[in-house]
Amino acid sequence: MKQGYCIRPGVSALPEYVPGEYRRGFIKLASNENNFGPSRKVVETLKSLADKTGLYPYREGDVRAKIAKYAGVNSENIVLGNGSDEVMDLIVKAFRGPYAGMYPSFPVYKLAAKIMGEGYVEVPYDDGFRFNARKFISKAEGAKVFFLCSPNNPTGTSISDTDLKKVLATGKLVVLDEAYVEFTGKSRASWVRKYQNLIVLRTMAKAFALAGLRIGYGIAPKEIVDILMKVKPPFNTSSFAQEAALAALEDISYMRKNVAKIRRGRDKIYNALSKKFKPVKSDSNFILFDVSPMTADEFFNKMLSKKIIVRKYGKFKGFPGEYIRVNAGTEEETEKFINAVNNI
Ligand SMILES: Cc1ncc(COP(=O)(O)O)c(C=O)c1O
């Protein structure tokens, strides 16, 4: 039968995003989640909302204001997303490409751009997954918008101030994804006051443990936020997500305590992995490591037999090695992972 519709160019050929595996009763260290869970304030708030589902969400303004205070900017610099994933979508809806980003990096940038039929150039990291501003700028010359990630998922490596300034000096629109910024403590959010071409992406999913509620945000100069607000679906963050974000931001000390524990766990994992494999130094809550000459499949299955799920990458095109990524869990989960590694 002749089709009466037309798929956007590029969409049919796209791979579907495959999230980290979940199995009941297994320790999941595959999606860079925060296994300490949210603040009690969040839990109590959500319980109290159970009979309020009849209302459309109405606290977007309050959330923008509270996030702005947390990030050290003004409300007019904040746009909320159904996860920061959605802010990426808003950007590609609003701004023409072509786009460019690093490789390997978070796959959703490329997916979002391709869905809109935009070109996307991937520039490989240098050895050790280090960012090379000069190489990036020259290889991404044809692009109008850059997606950068610091600390980068999946490598855990960061972009220095000097390198970021070089990229910003091109005048292109620079999207800097800071999903894991709380684990480094070093944000460039305040740079949006100086750079009119900078959008910083952040999320409540990681440090604040609200991944399941889907709430993230963009921080940008007012002119850019105004544009993104025009393409944003009206009620893109749920009332539960909004109230949970407000409650989580009332309990920043809880978040900071867990971030400190996660960082300690990450460093323990790094030390344990160093004895057998080749881990990459990470500024985030996870570690990427090369398990060769073992294959990523073999390592993944060994962990699975111990009821631990890690993220299997295998080979990165153009890079030697067989890669796995693991995030720090609770102290007990991290200990179990380390024991499993020691027993390989
Ligand atoms: C670099 C990066 N950005 C964004 C996200 C997604 O964030 P959100 O849950 O807010 O959509 C992730 C999730 O893994 C990530 O690793």
Give residue-wise pLDDT tens across range 315-337: 999 999 999 999 999 999 999 99
106 lines ligand 1 (CB under 6 A): yes
Across the chain, mean pLDDT equals 96
235, two tokens: 């009620």
Please, are residues 202 and 217 in contact by the beta-carbon 8 Å criterion? Answer: yes
Q: Over pLDDT 90: what percentage of the chain?
A: 92
CATH superfamily of 27-37+253-342: Aspartate Aminotransferase, domain 1 (3.90.1150.10)
For 135-161, what is the mean pLDDT? Answer: 98
Q: Over pLDDT 70: what percentage of the chain?
A: 99
pLDDT score at 17: 79
Amino acid of residue 75 = S
CA-211 nearest atom, ligand 1? 9
For 31-36, what is the mean pLDDT? Answer: 97
Amino acid of residue 40 = R
pLDDT score at 46: 97
As a whole number of Å, the CA-based R_g of the chain is 20
Mutate to test the pocket of ligand 1, among 102, 103, 106 (most ligand atoms within 8 A of CB): 106
For 258-273, what is the mean pLDDT? Answer: 98
Burial pattern 224-247, b for ≥16 Cβ within 10 A else e, equals bbebbeeebeeebbbbbbbbbbbb
10 Å Cβ neighbour count for 22?
10
For residue 16, the CA-to-ligand 1 centroid distance in Å is 16
For 229-254, what is the mean pLDDT? Answer: 98
pLDDT score at 185: 87
Bridge partners of residue 174, in order along the sequence: 146, 198
124, two tokens: 């490989």
CA-105 nearest atom, ligand 1? 1
152 lines ligand 1 (CB under 6 A): no
For residue 149, the CA-to-ligand 1 centroid distance in Å is 10
Amino acid of residue 296 = A
Residue 18 — very low, low, confident or very high, per pLDDT cuts 50/70/90? confident
For 79-102, what is the mean pLDDT? Answer: 98
What kind of architecture, by CATH, is found in domain 41-251?
3-Layer(aba) Sandwich (3.40)
> Which tens digits make up the pLDDT trace of 110-130?
999 999 999 999 999 999 999
Percentage helix, strand, coil for the chain under 3-state DSSP, each rounded to 5: 40, 15, 45
pLDDT score at 216: 98
For residue 266, the CA-to-ligand 1 centroid distance in Å is 19
For 133-143, what is the mean pLDDT? Answer: 98
For residue 203, the CA-to-ligand 1 centroid distance in Å is 7
pLDDT score at 22: 84
Separation of alpha carbons 334 and 34, rounded Å: 12
Domain residue ranges in the chain: 27-37+253-342, 41-251
For 60-74, what is the mean pLDDT? Answer: 98
pLDDT score at 1: 61
102 lines ligand 1 (CB under 6 A): no
203 lines ligand 1 (CB under 6 A): yes
Separation of alpha carbons 79 and 20, rounded Å: 27
281 secondary structure, DSSP code: P
> Which tens digits make up the pLDDT trace of 149-206?
999 999 999 999 999 999 999 999 999 999 999 999 899 999 999 999 999 999 999 9
For 213-233, what is the mean pLDDT? Answer: 98
For 21-30, what is the mean pLDDT? Answer: 92
- Which residue's C-alpha comes closest to atom 16 of ligand 1? 153
Place of tokens 């570690």: 287
Burial pattern 179-196, b for ≥16 Cβ within 10 A else e, equals bbbbbbeebbbebbeebe
- Which helix (H) or strand (E) element contains residue 9? none
- Which residue's C-alpha comes closest to atom 12 of ligand 1? 179
pLDDT of residue 19 exceeding 80: no
For 32-57, what is the mean pLDDT? Answer: 96
10 Å Cβ neighbour count for 197?
19
Mutate to test the pocket of ligand 1, among 180, 206, 215 (most ligand atoms within 8 A of CB): 206
pLDDT score at 225: 98
